[in-house]
Amino acid sequence: MKKFFSVGLAIVMLILCVTPVFAGSQSMEISTKADRAEYELTYPADIEIPWQTTAIDIGEVTATKMLIEPDKMVKVSVSSQNNYNLVNEKDSEKTIAYSLLSGNISFFPGDYGESFTLSVEVEDNEWLHAASGKHSDILTFTAEYTDAV
């Protein structure tokens, strides 16, 4: 008797768990949601430019995560502590001017894995008039989450 009652109860539960469809069609929604925007970027490490090199790639800015809203972007700007001059460590008046190429970068939704190469150019004349010794500058990268343009 217990077995008969258990089997009957199992059949009733099975019938109640299935949504019957008689005529026409039925639809269901399937969705997902990210609770907040997230992004991660990698920046170049320190680099030493070989003496008298006129052009060199110094690294890449890469989007390693780009989970942002469709109407937004991540804008990366680069600034120089010494106004794009390599400054001699013993005499700050002795400098080597350089140009940074690809300094303004924008990432958009779905740009995961996208990279922008940063390059430095130094005119021959700057090398000819440079003092010996170590020269350096510090580049600062600033990422801003903003409306897409």
pLDDT band at 33; cut points 50, 70, 90: confident
Q: What is the pLDDT of residues 61-89, one digit of tens each?
A: 999 999 999 999 999 999 999 999 999 99
Side-chain half-sphere exposure of 1, counting CA atoms within 13 A? 0
Output DSSP code: residue 89. S
Answer whether 0.85 is exceeded by the pTM. no
Average pLDDT over residues 139-146: 95
pLDDT at 13: 66
Coil, helix or strand for 80? strand
Higher pLDDT, 108 or 31: 108
Q: What is the pLDDT of residues 87-130, one digit of tens each?
A: 999 999 999 999 999 767 999 999 999 999 999 999 999 999 99
Q: What does the angle CA 113 – CA 39 – CA 119 come to, to the nearest 5 degrees?
A: 55
